[in-house]
Amino acid sequence: MPPEPTPILIVDDDEGIRDALGEMLGDEGYPVATAANGEEAMAWLRRERPRSCIVLLDLMMPVMDGDEFLRLKRSDPELAGLPVIIVTASGRPVDPMPGIRAYILKPIEMPLLMAAIEACAG
């Protein structure tokens, strides 16, 4: 029996991006959840407590941005190890920290994103 695909949490304030990525990743067989900002993402992670999950994280969002989400995630021992793929239009560098597996600029090049997801899931 093949292993269950790793769930993916898409965290982006742009509904169109959440929907498009969710549909594409769902078509690839990944279970998908979405959040419009870091606060919603933390609530989902704390509620669901997934054993494994890949977080696709935008940095520039209202309510709670990606940087604050990363700080909170890192401070929670149960969530700290979940891999994060930064997907952002921000060209600014992100401080290297454990858990960030890739940094992908928007507009998203799907082969790069899929390679990063497969590397995290594998």
**In 1-122, beta strands by DSSP E:** 8-11, 32-35, 54-57, 84-88, 100-105
Please write down the long-range contacts of 27-35, taking CB distance under 8 Å and 24 or more positions apart: 28/114, 29/5, 30/5, 30/6, 30/117, 31/5, 31/7, 32/7, 32/8, 33/7, 33/8, 33/9, 34/9, 34/10, 35/9, 35/10, 35/11
pLDDT value for 4: 81
Burial zone of 52 (CB within 10 Å; 0-12 exposed, 13-18 middle, 19+ buried): middle
Q: How far is residue 74's CA from residue 23's CA, in Å, rounded to a whole number? A: 28
Q: CATH number for 8-121: choose from 3.20.20.80, 3.40.50.2300, 3.40.50.720, 3.10.20.30.
A: 3.40.50.2300
The confidence score (pLDDT) of residue 97 equals 66
Ranges of the chain with pLDDT below 70: 1-3, 91-98, 122
Which pLDDT belongs to residue 5?
85
Q: What is the pLDDT of residue 1?
A: 39
Q: Kindly list the domain boundaries of the chain, sorted by start residue.
A: 8-121
* pTM of the complete model: 0.92
